[in-house]
Structure 1
Amino acid sequence: MGQIEWAMWANEQALAAGLIMLTGGIVAVAGQFKGWYFAAYAIAAGVFVCLLEYPRSKRKKGSTMERCGQKYMTAVVKVFGPLTRNYYIRAILHAALAVPAGFLLATILGTVCLGIASGIYLLAAVRGEEWRPIEQKPRERPHVGDTIKQPPSNPPPRPPADARKKPPLDAGGQVNPIPVEAE
């Protein structure tokens, strides 16, 4: 049985946590909760986590399904180099981002989810996983000569192969290249 790639799980968990934290922050700010500044922080942290976690990492084996528009965010994540590739740093970053949002009831669910994602990222880092970008290989177009073996000699519509006319044979049993028509 294959090895589990924990970073894939952590990525999905952290993306969901960012969305939950963002939603809870919007609810708390719109509802004018006490401690609205924690909600404003949760909105900013949720947006940051969503932007960081949107691009998926390339799997070690098999294919990875790229998210829609991921290539643009992949370029941004690649710019920060080891700060975004290293899962130890992501685990610490997510744990630190989760703490202030835990002081408000509307954002506590996002905090718990982000804490779980932090733990999964720590496990992925211990197992030696690292974020790698999904890079598209240029598609090779098939050469026309490779796809068409023998072009058709008759224009359409063509009769079935067994009903086609056979070329006339001459006396030696060979095909006459110049057909002779009787007048």
Structure 2
Amino acid sequence: MGQIEWAMWANEQALASGLILITGGIVATAGQFTQWYFGAYSIAAGVFICLLEYPRGKRKKGSTMERCGQKYMTKVVKLFGPFSRNYYVRAILHLGLSVPAGFLLATILGTACLAISSGIYLLAATRGEQWTPIESKPKERPQVGATIKQPPSNPPPRPPAEARKKLSEEEEVATGVSSGPQENPIPVTDEVV
């Protein structure tokens, strides 16, 4: 049985918890809760987490599906170097960011989800995983001979495809040879001999 890559689970969990933090922060700020400033903090922390977690890391085995527009955020995350690659750092960062949001009821769900993703990142770090960017491979140029399946049968200049169809129909009528369904020259009767 294959080994589980925990970082993929942690990435999805952290991205979802960032979105939950943003939503809870909007509710707390717009609802003017008594400690609404924790809601504003949750919005800022959630946006930061979403930007950090949006680019997926490359899997060790198999292929990794890249998120839409991920290549632009990958460049930004790569700038942080070992701080963004190391999952120990991400585990501590997520746990630290989750603590202030835990003081408000509207953001406590995002806090719990972020703490869980911190634990999963810690597990991934102890297993020796680290974030590596998905590099796009240069496109291979097709071989000239491989692209041509069947060479053209008539020399240039060739008429367009519609004109070729009309010409072949006219030739059939002129020669009397049809490529369509043909009649049986021997009549078939119901008599049994």
Pairwise CA distance, 1:29: 0.2
Q: For residue 131 of structure 1, what is the aligned residue in structure 2? A: 131
Contiguous gaps of at least 5 residues in structure 1? 160-183
**Distance in structure 2 (CA, Å) of the matches to 1:28 and 1:148:** 63
User: 2:69 aligns to what?
Assistant: 69
Q: CA deviation at 1:67?
A: 0.3
Q: 1:1-183 alignment to 2 at 5 Å?
A: 1-148=1-148, 151-154=151-154
Matched with 1:172 is none
Distance 1:148 1:67 in 2: 34
CA distance in 2, matches of 1:73, 1:152: 47
Residue 134 of structure 2 aligns to a residue in which SS? coil
Measure how far apart 1:140 and its partner are. Answer: 1.1
Which whole-Å CA distance do the structure 2 matches of 1:10 and 1:44 have between them? 20
List gaps (5 residues or longer) in structure 2: 159-163, 169-193
Identity across matched positions, percent: 79
Give the whole-Å Cα distance in 2 for the aligned partners of 1:61 and 1:52: 23
Q: How far has the Cα of 1:145 moved from its partner?
A: 2.0
Distance (whole Å) between structure 2 residues aligned to residue 80 and residue 100 of structure 1: 24
Residue by residue over 1:106-149, the C-alpha shift from the partner in whole angstroms, topping out at 9 and shown as x without a partner, is 00000000000000000000000000000100111312322225
CA deviation vs aligned residue, 1:35-57 (integer Å, no higher than 9, x gap): 11111111110000000000000
Q: Distance in 2 between matches of 1:149 and 1:32?
A: 68
Shift of 1:31: 0.2
CA distance in 2, matches of 1:65, 1:39: 33
- CA RMSD for the aligned pairs? 1.5
Deviation of the 1:100 alpha carbon: 0.3
TM-score, normalised to structure 2, is: 0.79
Whole-Å separation in 1 of the counterparts to 2:92 and 2:150 = 63
**Equivalent residue letter for 1:72:** Y
Q: Which residue of 1 aligns with 2:191?
A: none
Return the alpha-carbon distance in structure 1 between the equivalents of residues 113 and 153 of structure 2.
67
| Alpha-carbon separation, structure 1, partners of 2:64 and 2:149 | 34
Partner AA of 1:13 in structure 2: Q
How many residues are treated as equivalent by the alignment?
A: 159
Counterparts of 1:138 and 1:131 in 2: how far apart (Å)?
21
- Larger deviation: 42-51 or 134-143? 134-143
Q: CA deviation at 1:153?
A: 2.6
